[in-house]
A and B are shown apart, each in its own frame.
Chain A
Amino acid sequence: MRRQFEKNIRSLEAVFSFLRTFAEEERLDARASYVLDLAVEEFFTNIVKYGQGTGSGVLLEAVRSGRTVTVRLEEQTPVPFDVTRATQNQFDVPFAERRPGGLGIHIAKELLDGLTYDYVDGTSRITLTTHLER
């Protein structure tokens, strides 16, 4: 399945609908579905907030192969940014100083089984992988 989404926070509902349809068609378990929803939300909102893309939107592609599910987020942009190298290093700071920034990417990384970034010919591509329990 693949679909283009407008680069806007209001697109999230449609993004979740796309993922829900994919999960139903591919009979994903509840955990995989949650992981994909969360990871795609975190990276999609990151692109909305910080992406410098020249195109009009973000392309999502979801594929299941056996017990492995892969979702790609693609954006046309002149500025590559490897979000997979973004770090979340707030755990050692006092509670009162903790901020949510970067937290979502950290959670997504922990939940996913694979996360890669590549930039080719002006296309920024984030690839998320999770394995099904059965």
Chain B
Amino acid sequence: MFSISVNDTGIIVLTGRFDASQVDSAREVFSSLDASAVVDFRDLDYISSAGLGILLATQQRLKKGGKAIKLVNMNRMVRDVFKIARFDLIFEIE
């Protein structure tokens, strides 16, 4: 199960497992993003390249306008995946 929501402070919250079958709902939220934002990974258990692709496309689009997304609260395995993909050089990860 995967869910994506925006909480009342504007933080994008990812929950569950972000796999290739879940890209549509995530793309809907991220494609409408037009300002810098924080994405909270605290309750995200799993991400694969499908999820990374959505985040990469969002970051590339936002950076053109001088904006960016920041990623926070990743678990160890998710952080490892970002490092292997060298996405730690593309995103601010806290």
Please determine whether A107 and B21 come into contact, CB atoms closer than 8 angstroms: no
Instruction: Determine whether B71 belongs to the interface, using a CB cutoff of 8 Å to chain A.
Output: no
Instruction: Determine whether A103 belongs to the interface, using a CB cutoff of 8 Å to chain B.
Output: yes
CB < 8 Å neighbour of B20 from A30, A41, A91, A98: A41
Please determine whether A91 and B86 come into contact, CB atoms closer than 8 angstroms: yes
Instruction: Determine whether A59 belongs to the interface, using a CB cutoff of 8 Å to chain B.
Output: no
**Chain A positions within 8 Å of B72 at CB level:** none
| Total contacting residues, chain B, CB less than 8 A | 23
| Total contacting residues, chain A, CB less than 8 A | 24
**Chain A positions within 8 Å of B52 at CB level:** 100, 103
Interface set, chain B 29-57, CB cutoff 8 A to A: 46, 48-50, 52-53, 56-57
Please determine whether B20 and A9 come into contact, CB atoms closer than 8 angstroms: yes
Instruction: Determine whether B6 belongs to the interface, using a CB cutoff of 8 Å to chain A.
Output: no
**Chain B positions within 8 Å of A37 at CB level:** 46, 48
Interface set, chain B 16-34, CB cutoff 8 A to A: 17, 19-21
Please determine whether A100 and B20 come into contact, CB atoms closer than 8 angstroms: no
Instruction: Determine whether A2 belongs to the interface, using a CB cutoff of 8 Å to chain B.
Output: no
Instruction: Determine whether A104 belongs to the interface, using a CB cutoff of 8 Å to chain B.
Output: yes
Which of A10-18, A64-72, A73-81, A124-132 contacts its partner? A10-18
A-B contact pairs, 18 of them (CB 8 A): A12-B20, A34-B77, A37-B48, A38-B46, A38-B81, A41-B20, A41-B50, A42-B48, A45-B20, A95-B90, A96-B60, A98-B60, A103-B49, A106-B85, A107-B85, A111-B80, A111-B81, A111-B84
Residues of A in contact with B (beta carbons under 8 Å apart): 9-10, 12-13, 16, 30-31, 34, 37-38, 41-42, 45, 91, 95-96, 98, 100, 103-104, 106-107, 110-111
